[in-house]
Structure 1
């Protein structure tokens, strides 16, 4: 099993592996969880996502991590730090996507907060961003709860997204 990258009070975040495709499908096959993405994903799409994540680990030393309940090991979602191009510049984004059955428990905020701390303390980043769809109120609230503020609105992935940012 992949190693734990970071932990918070209730959560362990560990590296993603190809064996996680079935876990990710709980999110990717759910139209409600994927509402702000272009579409749901099949297993091939989930495997492409895993390959993209593994590539980020190699190139940047970070990527999305699997979020698990510290006590039970139950899969809750994914959260991590991923490179995103914004106006021609690569920025490091805190991204998060959780299974619908655990929404409303504060897991996204807790995981995103741990990633923010990791980005500033372990990676020595000076800035982190988050790019929620302008209509995705729960995701904007997570960004705000971890101390981010709206910097601007951009068009990315064919839609309007906020650029939330926070500085070390």
Structure 2
């Protein structure tokens, strides 16, 4: 489990599927995906992440409010192939009812730190649809910078990246109050 000031990130369980489906079936929340998720696709998403926990030691985790354990989305690390190379992406989805409160940035920043400090990764990326400005802002806020455009998942995406400086934790100055404002 990863904890921040306001959030806890934990592995998904089958009990999370109904609530996660509420988020993933919403058209506005999933506007940058080909379509909202069916219940079956949400179930498969949870299984896929559970398999990733076993295989890779990471995946997308349930993002819950610390105060009441309400599931508000997912965030975590996922292996992706970009331009023929295996990369680790920090990805996130937050329920639209919790947008503009800094939860995406807070969760993604914690996952970036986990990637570098706990897993010892040298680099992480984010794969973002070019017109998804909120996700681009999250990536920039946690220290990722636009690197290139690539054809991934059947369309062009902007690739953001950051490395940890060859084993030294790459950090940015970040104020928790500033995160909460976005």
Gaps of 5+ in 1: none
User: Following superposition of structure 1 onto structure 2, how do residues 50-61 of structure 1 map, counting pairs within 5 Å?
Assistant: 50-61=46-57
SS in 2 for 1:62: coil
The separation in 1 between residues aligned to 2:81 and 2:13, in whole angstroms, is 24
Matched, 1:163 2:154: no
Give the Å deviation of 1:36.
0.4
2:84 to 88, 94, 113: 88
Matched, 1:129 2:164: no
Over aligned residue pairs, what C-alpha RMSD do you find? 0.8
Residue 58 of structure 1 deviates from its aligned partner by 1.3
What TM-score do you get using the length of structure 2 for normalisation?
Answer: 0.88
Moved over 6 A (4+): none
**1:84 CA drift (Å):** 0.5
**Alpha-carbon distance in 2 for matches of 1:160, 1:135:** 11
Report the Cα offset of residue 115 of structure 1.
0.3
Instruction: Give the Cα separation in 1 of the matches to 2:15 and 2:85.
Output: 33
- In the TM superposition, what is the alpha-carbon distance from 1:22 to its structure 2 partner? 0.5
Cα deviation, residue 43, structure 1:
0.9
Equivalenced residues, count: 164
Give the corresponding residue for 2:173.
Answer: none
Within 2, Cα distance between the matches of 1:80 and 1:125?
Answer: 14
The Cα of 1:121 is off from its aligned counterpart by 0.2
Q: Which residue of 2 aligns with 1:139?
A: 135
* Mapped pair 1:9 → 2:15: no
Question: In the TM superposition, what is the alpha-carbon distance from 1:16 to its structure 2 partner?
Answer: 0.6
TM-score, normalised by the number of residues in structure 1? 0.95
